[in-house]
């Protein structure tokens, strides 16, 4: 405990500091931490399903470094406007994608001296799910675009460590899909069971059995049947459902078994 550099900070320095043999070392390190706080940003992995494929929202960087390169949307936390990291993520979601309140969850924080050529940065990454129908991109279409995700990557390089971050987000989405309901956030409010199953299949990249899937979903009692409503296609129309409670989290008793782990 002799080398603690804990939450003691600026305003109290000099007031309650005891004369201590380690004081010089303490102050040296303290000064360093004060004057070289890492830059702190919040980035978003915004995912949706369209055209039978998982897509991620990317923006083209207008400035160096990685100028012209595609990157995850995000940016500096504004301590004046953002009451919390969560609030910052919600703000950026609105500003970048013009979306009301889809699923938003903190993924992980990435920070190192070399992830940004300009020096030490930390970014807290959130991942968001939304229905492709509810997306209206604001601003210049050339700056932001939905990009198809194949496997756990897009087909080209991303700025910074964003490729790694995207891969982590996709893996998290996959593993959560195995035992939770969250795929409903990738669909519009009203949807059919075959549509929901197709969404799971697209993300898990594996066909699912119709009967097992229906049993699983219906036993979880998470859907509300919309009486009389049906959606037609080329075959028999399918019953429309609505997700019952967007706040409740439903866990399935077993994971969907995946052949290749």
Partner DNA sequence: CACAATAGTGGCGCCAAGCCACTAAGAACC
Partner DNA sequence: GGTTCTTAGTGGCTTGGCGCCACTATTGTG
Residues that bind DNA (CB under 7 A): 192-194, 208-216, 219, 230, 232-239, 252-254, 256-257
Based on the shown chain and the rule CB under 8 A, indicate whether residue 102 belongs to the binding site for its own copies. Answer: no
161: left (phi over 0), alpha (psi -120 to 50) or beta: alpha
Find the shortest distance in angstroms from Cβ 153 to its own copies. Answer: 21
Based on the shown chain and the rule CB under 8 A, indicate whether residue 38 belongs to the binding site for its own copies. Answer: yes
Residue 95 binding result from its own copies, DNA, none, given CB thresholds of 5 to 8 Å by partner type: its own copies
Q: Interacting stretch for its own copies, rule CB under 8 A, among 150-158, 226-234, 240-248, 249-257?
A: 249-257
Find the shortest distance in angstroms from Cβ 35 to its own copies. Answer: 9
Find the shortest distance in angstroms from Cβ 144 to DNA. Answer: 32
- Distance of alpha carbon 151 from alpha carbon 114, whole angstroms: 26
Q: Which of 165, 126, 132 is nearest to 148 (CA)?
A: 132
Name every residue whose Cβ is closer than 8 Å to that of residue 197 and which is 6 or more positions away in sequence.
208, 210, 213, 214
Residue 212 binding result from its own copies, DNA, none, given CB thresholds of 5 to 8 Å by partner type: DNA
Residue 194 binding result from DNA, its own copies, none, given CB thresholds of 5 to 8 Å by partner type: DNA
Q: Interacting stretch for its own copies, rule CB under 8 A, among 54-62, 189-197, 198-206, 240-248?
A: 54-62
Backbone angles phi, psi at 169, to 5 degrees: -65, -45
44, 48, 70, 96: which one binds its own copies (CB under 8 A): 96
Alpha carbon 129 to its chain centroid, in Å, reads 7
Instruction: Give Dmax over CA atoms of the chain in angstroms.
Output: 82
In the complex with DNA, which residue's Cβ is closer, 140 or 255?
255
Residues touching its own copies, count (CB under 8 A):
72
Find the shortest distance in angstroms from Cβ 261 to its own copies. Answer: 8
Partners of 27 in the beta sheet? Answer: none
Binders of its own copies among residues 203 to 242 (CB under 8 A) are: none
Find the shortest distance in angstroms from Cβ 230 to its own copies. Answer: 35
- Distance of alpha carbon 231 from alpha carbon 226, whole angstroms: 11
In the complex with its own copies, which residue's Cβ is closer, 139 or 188?
139
Find the shortest distance in angstroms from Cβ 59 to DNA. Answer: 35
Binders of its own copies among residues 112 to 151 (CB under 8 A) are: 112-114, 116, 118-122, 124, 138-140, 143-144
**Helix 193-204 vs helix 210-219: crossing angle, to nearest 10:** 110
**Helix 193-204 vs helix 162-179: crossing angle, to nearest 10:** 130
- Distance of alpha carbon 105 from alpha carbon 128, whole angstroms: 6
Report how far apart, in Å, the C-alpha atoms of 42 and of each of 65, 107, 146, 215 are.
17, 11, 19, 39
- Distance of alpha carbon 49 from alpha carbon 46, whole angstroms: 11
């Amino acid at each position: 405990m002799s080398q603690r550099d804990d939450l003691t900070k600026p305003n109290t320095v000099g007031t309650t500091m005891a004369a201590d043999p380690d004081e010089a070392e303490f102050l040296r390190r303290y000064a360093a931490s004060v004057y070289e706080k890492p830059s702190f940003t919040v980035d978003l992995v915004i995912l949706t399903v369209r055209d039978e494929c998982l897509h991620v929202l990317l923006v083209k960087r207008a400035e160096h470094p990685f100028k012209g390169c595609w990157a995850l949307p995000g940016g500096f936390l504004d301590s004046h406007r953002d009451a919390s990291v969560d609030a910052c993520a919600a703000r950026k979601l609105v500003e970048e994608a013009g979306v009301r309140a889809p699923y938003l969850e903190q993924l992980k924080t990435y920070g190192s001296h070399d992830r940004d050529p300009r020096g030490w940065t930390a970014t807290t990454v959130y991942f968001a799910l939304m229905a492709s129908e509810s997306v209206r991109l604001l601003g210049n279409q050339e700056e932001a675009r939905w990009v198809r995700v194949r496997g756990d990557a897009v087909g080209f390089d991303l700025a910074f460590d964003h490729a790694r971050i995207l891969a982590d987000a996709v893996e998290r989405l996959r593993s959560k899909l195995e035992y939770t309901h969250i795929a409903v956030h990738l669909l519009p409010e009203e949807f059919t069971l075959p549509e929901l199953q197709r969404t799971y299949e697209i993300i898990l990249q594996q066909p699912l059995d119709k009967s097992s899937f229906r049993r699983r979903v219906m036993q979880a009692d998470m859907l509300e049947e919309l009486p009389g409503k049906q959606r037609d296609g080329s075959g028999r129309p399918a019953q429309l459902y609505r997700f019952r409670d967007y706040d409740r989290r439903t866990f399935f008793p077993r994971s969907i078994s995946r052949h290749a782990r």
